[in-house]
Amino acid sequence: MNLLTVLSIFALFQGAFSQEDILQRLPICATKCLDATVQLSRCGADDLACLCTDTAFMDAAQACNSANCTVVETMSATNTTLAACGVPIKSKTVEMVAVTASIGAFAVLMVALRLIHRAISCKAQLGADDLLIALAGIASLFQNVPVVVAGYLGFGRDIWSIPPDNLTASFKWMYVTYLSYQEAEFLCQLSILAFYLRIMTDPNTRKIVYGLILFVIGFGLANTFTMVLQCNPIHFFWDGWRGEMERACTIDIRTWGLTRGGIEICLDIAIITVPLPMLSRLQMSFRKKVQVMSMFCVGFMITVVGCLRIWSLLEFNQSANPT
């Protein structure tokens, strides 16, 4: 059972791939691995379905590729092999782009409506909270647009099906997304706290708000610098996947993400609960108090999002197919 026989069988059963196609598609290192490992298969030379489902054979070929091929060559070999076996490419690009674009557009629309209402109201003047939420809206554009561009480049599909240059470009865009997400997050928190300063008169409560503002600024700047400088050199973030660079990311992104996510959840809860004591003392009926406090408590939805983000981070870290 030699390589030529196997390739002939692949061509026979998969009309889309000729023998020459497979030879041209597979890297040289992968053809050598295929020739060596196919002899270990329990399947007959004329049983393509068996060869494609022979996990021992496929695992041996994958291990050989990983040991003898570059990362780019291994991805190319995986893509060619799975295509020859008729395994479809999994893709969530449409869902990723649709969710990002719709939610992102809705957030920007809400910010725009708030600013327009505040600007045309004869009883209100634009304040620090309006400026901060406007900046958060701009940051959210830089957070969401790169996701759409990355999706156009192939992000959302199986990693081995994305052309290497597109994968590198996608990681560059995702770098912008991750950084912008953090900026939008802490600007939004500062906007809420600035709004509290505008409506609250109790000295003790204002001290708490000022303390939270200092913490949010410090934590936001620390997150920003950590995100920017997590890899040395910085471009390792989008070039390092090739396995051709000696330097690496010095920060355990999983530990950092989980720690940061936990702190953000606690911080969000602290910010949302600050006005509740003041609201409970308002001179109005119990029903109206509940209605007003419920409106403020809608912000707890961000806590749910934070929990989901931590869960997705755990899933992402354990995946060999992160795109």
> Tens digits of per-residue pLDDT, 19-36?
456 656 778 887 787 777
Same domain, 142 and 200: yes
Six-digit token string for 319: 């995946």
pLDDT of residue 21: 60
User: Has residue 322 been placed in a domain?
Assistant: no
Look at residue 1 in the predicted model and tell me its pLDDT: 44
Mean pLDDT confidence for 46-72: 77
Decide which of 54, 84, 114 is a domain's last residue: 84
> What pLDDT score was predicted for residue 218?
92
Angle, helix 71-84 to helix 55-68, in steps of 10 degrees: 150
Packing angle between helix 164-199 and helix 253-273, nearest 10 degrees? 20
Confidence of residue 47 (pLDDT cuts 50, 70, 90): low
Residue 16: count of CB within 10 angstroms of its CB: 9
Q: Residue 183 above 50 pLDDT?
A: yes
Please, what is the average pLDDT of the chain? 77
Any known ligand binding at 239? no
Question: Do 41 and 155 share a domain, yes or no?
Answer: no
Q: What is the dihedral of CA 92, 93, 94, 95, to 10 degrees?
A: 50
Q: Does the structure show a pLDDT above 70 at 157?
A: yes
Q: Which pairs from 2-11 meet CB under 8 Å and 24+ separation?
A: 2/35, 2/38, 3/31, 3/34, 3/35, 3/38, 5/45, 6/34, 6/38, 6/45, 6/51, 9/45, 9/46, 9/48, 9/51, 10/48, 10/84
Q: What is the pTM of this model?
A: 0.78
pLDDT band at 297 (very low <50, low <70, confident <90, very high): low
pLDDT at 289: 59
CA 116 – CA 233 distance, rounded (Å)? 43
d(CA 70, CA 169): 19
Q: Which domain holds residue 182?
A: 93-317
Please name the amino acid found at residue 313. Answer: L
Q: Residue 18, exposed/middle/buried by CB under 10 A (0-12, 13-18, 19+)?
A: middle
User: H-helix or E-strand containing 138?
Assistant: helix 128-153
pLDDT at 71 over 80: yes
Out of 57, 84, 111, a domain closes at 84
Asked whether the beta carbons of 50 and 44 are under 8 A apart, the reply is yes
Q: Are residues 114 and 150 in the same domain?
A: yes
Q: Are residues 215 and 313 in the same domain?
A: yes
Would you say residue 323 lies in a domain? no
Q: What's the domain count of the chain?
A: 2
> Per-residue pLDDT tens for 190-218?
998 998 888 888 888 889 999 999 999 99
Lowest mean pLDDT segment, chosen from 91-95, 188-192, 222-226, 311-315: 311-315
Are residues 77 and 131 in contact, defined by beta-carbon separation less than 8 angstroms? Answer: no
Single residue among 30, 55, 84 that ends a domain in this structure:
84
Arithmetic mean of pLDDT, 281-307? 62
CATH number, residue 229: 1.20.1070
Phi, psi values for residue 232, rounded to 5°: -130, 110
